[in-house]
Amino acid sequence: METRNLRKERTGVVTSNKMNKSITVEIERRVKHPIYGKFVKKTSRFMAHDEKNECNVGDTVRIMEVRPMSKNKCWRMVEIIERAK
């Protein structure tokens, strides 16, 4: 049987859910500056597939990398970790 490689998983906050079955997830990470040593916040934005349209803006979600679904979308929403308050 053929084994599949591990897929990347990320956790981030939903910033947009205005599309049908799609969400935009923003992931923030802290990177140390190479010269000054200060930690700088870097953000990445990913389009993710939300099959049931159940995410709202502000929700914390886990997304998983999948095959390309459209021009910009190659991530899928796995679970909602925390709902927006």
Give the CATH fold of the 9-82 domain: OB fold (Dihydrolipoamide Acetyltransferase, E2P) (2.40.50)
SS3 (DSSP) at 75: strand
What confidence score (pLDDT) does residue 80 get? 97
- How far, in Å, CA of 61 to CA of 55, rounded? 8
What residue spans define the domains of the chain? 9-82
Dump the DSSP string for the chain. -PPPPPPPEEEEEEEE--STTEEEEEEEEEEE-TTT--EEEEEEEEEEE-TT----TT-EEEEEE-S--SSSEEEEEEEEEE---
Query: Which of 1-5, 74-78, 79-83 comes out lowest in average pLDDT?
Result: 1-5
Average pLDDT of the chain? 95
- Residue 4 confidence (pLDDT) above 90: no
- Residue 85 — pLDDT band, cuts 50, 70, 90? confident
Residues 22-42, mean pLDDT to the nearest whole number: 97
